[in-house]
Amino acid sequence: MTRPTLLLGQTFVAHGNPLLNPWQDAVQIDSAGAVLIEDGLIRAVGNRDLLRRAHPQAAVQDYGDHLICPGFVDAHVHYPQTAIIASWGKRLIDWLNTYTFPEEVRLADPAYAAEIAARHLDLALDHGTTTLCSYTTIHAHSVDAFFEAAAARRMRTVAGKTCMDRNAPEGLRDTAQSAYDDSKRLLERWHGQGRAGYAITPRFSPTSTPDQLSALGALWRAYPDCLMQTHLSEQPDEIAWVRDLFPDARDYLDTYEAHGLIGARAVFGHAIHLEPREIDRIAESGAALVHCPTSNTFIGSGLMDAAGLAARRITLGLATDTGGGSSFSMLRTMAAAYEIAQLRSTSLHPAQLLWLATAGSARSLHLHDHIGTLAPGYEADLTILDLASTSAIAQRTAGAADIWEALFPTIMMGDDRAIADVWIAGEKRRRKHTT
């Protein structure tokens, strides 16, 4: 038994889904809140005076007016693209060929893969992200590099070997059989190991033959506890290419569905230009969609209908999609989600944005019983937000009428300077590159 720690501050507490219920009923901020943590878990969440009296032996960390949130959950990243983030001037397919694939070839070197995995996770932590779900490269060691770096930081993560057996350059192609064998070996090694979870990962239909998609569908049937992640309907040119490559498919989703790659544990990134049949099928299957708003504007992909899809009771996660996304910050990502919703004539409330970045993303990864919510029994992954981290934000917060108005400028203008502290499994992480 370790000595418990009592964190004092304002607390972001969610009881339900604020995209489906009135946000006032689903989410609250307690201005006199406290979180008791012990042995890596949250033991109690409540009023600071009551919890202080009930736990006089606890070490106290007083965060004043800072907001104690569940750690941010980034539901779709490509850690191998860390070093090419913010590369200029291309749309999806050209961007992949010009910037992404040449960089992913470099991860053939295990030492480079380890360096980039560590760099990505440290950048994520600096930005308040405590869990992420990552693509890797076709190299099996790129999966080991990621999970080893995450284990060194005690982070809960999901990842899988990115599989591609066509339309990718020399050195970045596997085969249907090797994708199956490598993915199987890796998921047996990592799934459920410590805080790691495995996602079977065909990159997207254009880079997998039907044989490879079938093989990965068979693997998922054999290991149904794993997630399956891929990309869906990101750009019109990509969708037209999929139509050419799969002339018998009813639509893009059908290229996965025909090979057993749909189900409640499927996680589809982007999903912007969906046909009505695809939306119906996704809703019926229980699959999750991940909104990647900074990527969708940066690569010029389009405006996802997040509110409309949520209203269909489809689970939504939120993600940076680094390095197609232009920021490691889930604050910046929430801001982009807000801006895209505005362009679609919907205003996402800060309660909805923060919920999406925490509990919503956790749900999309089927981790919602472990992380993403401040409640007893949850793992103590926490992000502490300074709501006055820059002079521009502070002057706005100072005049705020209520806590939501005080939080919104940090969502819209905040960055890593707003991250006062990060706690991983009940331990405080020193800011900036500790391992």
Partner from Zn ion, ligand GUN, none binding residue 58, C-beta < 5-8 Å depending on class: none
- In the complex, the smallest distance separating the C-beta of residue 267 from Zn ion, rounded to whole angstroms, is 11
Q: Is 381 in the site for ligand GUN (CB under 6 A)?
A: no
> Least CB distance from residue 270 to Zn ion, whole Å?
7
Two structure tokens written together for 249: 């498919």
350 binds ligand GUN (CB under 6 A): no
Exposed/middle/buried for 224, CB within 10 Å: 0-12, 13-18, 19+? exposed
> Which is it for the CA torsion 72, 75, 76, 79, positive or negative?
positive
Tell the residue number behind the tokens 């820059």, with chain if given: 390
Beta bridge partners of 289: 268, 316
The order of strands in the sheet holding 41-47 is: 41-47, 27-38, 5-14, 59-70, 382-385, 419-424, 427-429
The structure tokens listed for 28 are 């609250």
Residue 234 is a binding residue for ligand GUN (CB under 6 A): yes
Q: Which residue is nearest to ligand GUN (CB)?
A: 324
Q: CB nearer to ligand GUN: give 17 or 229.
A: 229
**203 binds, options ligand GUN, Zn ion, none, Cβ within 5 to 8 A by partner type:** ligand GUN
Q: Minimum distance between the CB of residue 324 and Zn ion, rounded to whole angstroms?
A: 6
Closest approach, Cβ 223 to ligand GUN, in A, equals 23
C-alpha to C-alpha distances, 122 to 48, 86, 87, 221, 302, nearest whole angstrom? 31, 18, 21, 34, 30
Under the binding rule (CB under 6 A), the answer on residue 231 touching ligand GUN is: yes
Answer with the entry of ligand GUN, Zn ion, none that 407 interacts with (C-beta below 5 to 8 A by kind).
none
- Contact between 161 and ligand GUN (CB under 6 A)? no
Q: What does 234 bind: Zn ion, ligand GUN, none (CB cut-off 5 to 8 Å by kind)?
A: ligand GUN
Distance CA 365, CA 346 (A): 25
Task: Indicate whether 78 belongs to the interface with ligand GUN (CB under 6 A).
Answer: yes
Binders of ligand GUN among 21-40, rule CB under 6 A? none
Shortest Å, Cβ 398 to ligand GUN: 38
- Residue number, 157 or 295, with CB nearest to ligand GUN: 295
Q: Which is nearer to Zn ion, 301 or 373 (CB)?
A: 301
Question: Judged by CB, which is closer to Zn ion: 165, or 321?
Answer: 321
Site of interaction with Zn ion (CB under 5 A): 269, 321
Please state, as a whole number, how many other Cβ atoms lie within 10 Å of the Cβ of residue 56.
8
Q: Would you count residue 203 as binding ligand GUN (CB under 6 A)?
A: yes
Question: With binding defined as CB under 6 A, does residue 142 bind ligand GUN?
Answer: no
H or E, element range at 76: strand 72-78
Residue 91 CB burial class (10 angstroms; 0-12, 13-18, ≥19): middle
Residues pairing with 70 in the sheet? 382
- Residue closer to ligand GUN (CB basis): 17 or 207: 207
In 295-366 the beta strands, taken as DSSP E runs, fall at 315-318
321 near ligand GUN, rule: CB under 6 A? yes
Q: CB 299 → Zn ion: shortest distance, Å?
A: 10
Partnered with residue 162 across adjacent β-strands are 201
Q: Which helix (H) or strand (E) holds 330?
A: helix 330-343
Report the distance separating Cα 221 and Cα 330, nearest Å: 33
100 binds, among ligand GUN, Zn ion, none (CB under 5 to 8 A by kind): ligand GUN
324 touches ligand GUN (CB under 6 A): yes
Q: How far is the CB of 46 from ligand GUN (least distance, A)?
A: 41
Closer to Zn ion by CB, 299 or 385: give it.
299
Range 100-129, binding ligand GUN (CB under 6 A): 100
DSSP string computed for 190-257 = HTTSTTEEEEEEE--GGGS-HHHHHHHHHHHHH-TTSEEEEEES--HHHHHHHHHH-TT-SSHHHHHH
Contact (Cβ atoms closer than 8 angstroms) between residue 317 and residue 364: yes
Count of positions on this chain that bind ligand GUN (CB under 6 A) = 12
Stretch that binds ligand GUN, among 36-44, 92-100, 114-122, 326-334 (CB under 6 A): 92-100
Establish if 204 lies at the interface with ligand GUN (CB under 6 A).
yes
Q: What is the dihedral of CA 87, 356, 126, 191, to 10 degrees?
A: -90
Binding residues for ligand GUN (CB under 6 A): 78, 92, 96, 100, 203-204, 231, 234, 295, 299, 321, 324
